[in-house]
Homo-oligomer: A and B are copies of this chain.
Amino acid sequence: MKRIITLLAGLVLLAGSTNAQELSNFSFGRGPKVVSPEINGDKTTFRLSANYATIVNLVGAWMENPWGPGVPMTKGEGGVWEITIDTPSPEIYTYSFIVDGVTMSDPLNVFVQRDGSRFLSMLMVPGERTENYGEANVHGTVAHRWYHSEILGMDRRLTVYTPAGYENNPKKKYPVLYLLHGAGGDEEAWSSMGRAAQILDNLIEKGLAEPMICVMPNGNPNQAAAQTLGLPVKDMDWRDPANRNKYVESLCEEIVPFIEKNYRAIAKPASRAIAGLSMGGGHTISASTLYPELFDYICPLSAAGAMTEEQALALKKAGVKLYFLACGNTDFLWNGSLELKKNLEAVQMDNFEFFESDGGHVWSNWRLYLNTFAQKLFK
């Protein structure tokens, strides 16, 4: 304890000279520095100080079974467990340690993504696939803002990305992408797991995407916001048919007008895109069939959803500039996506693209899809 106090005092004394520690180096002087994870070209090492543990496993999203049991680590000097693996192919992966059967994140890794209620350590392997996932040289603003929903009966929080240059071009108006999360997610899912701000920053910096506003609402209609304290969760009966489409109604009748009133958004179908993954893909399909004239760009991702011929024709008639349907070919919703594909092809939907990727119902695919379709919007 004395050592900590001495170190803290030292740090504070340095305050006058504005000396500071890099975040991940702030170790309170607790002995030799252990690093985890450490990427060395085609080898990557993970480490955990756990002198009294009996079994420590590493489990990661690159493994065939990312739920466990994972691979055993080896206890070495000073009680530090270690494993070196072949560096997985370039991608962002989440991983955990399983210490005597208990799953935990890597305490030495400051990069953490929140996936719903789980906090997971993050490994980014550099390469072509991930070149738009790190920080760009230009940066939009990411704001958490509240709007009032009359339909859902509460104030609710949403995340709004405005592109670099938004504040300095006070007369310019922008198109808007509404980007929806899946079940278990919330209004922070796309900005945390999805790296949406980084992907858009990079694409915009490179001239590959139009500067756009991106709105990431909370798709859980009984919830005001993620991780709030003291806000009641609304007790609505969602099986009641009257409530069936409440969230999509709120999105189209409240959020879209709120954004178009409060931001310099171009209020036209040709400047509105809607995209969503899994449950958010369901919301995307519902929004486009219930409000066929609202969005000209429609992108359900890893989603299943039937569409009647009548609905598909109404959508086609309203005008579709891009219908981008994406799914991984090992996704459990692959067949459902093929069904929707059939519905859309049956009416020869204009500008329909089916994007097949490897893999399943995972964030690596959703980042890939965003990085792909964002380049096709508003052009």
Of the listed stretches A265-273, A282-290, A316-324, A367-375, chain B binds: A282-290
CB distance from A27 to the nearest CB of B (A): 8
Known A230-B135, A238-B17; judge A50-B278 contact (CB<8 A). Answer: no
- List residues of chain B with CB within 8 A of the CB of A135: 224-225, 228-231
Q: Which residue of chain B lies nearest to A281 when distances are taken between CB atoms in the complex? A: B15
- List residues of chain B with CB within 8 A of the CB of A14: 183, 238, 279, 282
Per-position contact with B for A323-336: 1 when CB-CB < 8 Å, else 0? 00000000011001
Q: A297-326: which have CB < 8 Å to B?
A: 303-305
**Identical copies of this chain, number:** 2
Known A12-B304, A119-B119, A220-B21; judge A167-B262 contact (CB<8 A). Answer: yes
B119 touches A112 (CB 8 A): yes
A119 to B227, CA, bound (A): 14
Residue from B22, B118, B155 in contact with A223 in the complex, judged by beta carbons closer than 8 Å: B22
A225 to B134, CA, bound (A): 13
- In this complex, the member of A18, A223, A231 whose beta carbon has the largest number of chain B beta carbons within 10 angstroms is A18
Residue from B4, B102, B229, B279 in contact with A134 in the complex, judged by beta carbons closer than 8 Å: B229
Per-position contact with B for A81-108: 1 when CB-CB < 8 Å, else 0? 0000000000000000001111111010
Residue from B100, B155, B225 in contact with A52 in the complex, judged by beta carbons closer than 8 Å: B100
- List residues of chain B with CB within 8 A of the CB of A222: 20, 22
B111 touches A229 (CB 8 A): yes
- List residues of chain B with CB within 8 A of the CB of A238: 14, 17-20
Interface residues of A (CB under 8 A from B): 1, 4-5, 8-9, 11-24, 26, 48-55, 65, 67, 79, 99-105, 107, 110-112, 114, 116-119, 124, 133-135, 137, 139, 141-146, 155, 157, 164, 167, 183-184, 186, 198, 219-231, 233, 238-239, 243-248, 262, 278-283, 285-286, 303-305, 332-333, 336, 361
Other than the known A14-B238, A119-B119, what 13 A-B pairs have Cβ atoms closer than 8 Å?
A11-B183, A12-B281, A18-B238, A20-B183, A20-B238, A79-B101, A104-B107, A110-B117, A111-B227, A134-B228, A142-B144, A143-B144, A146-B164
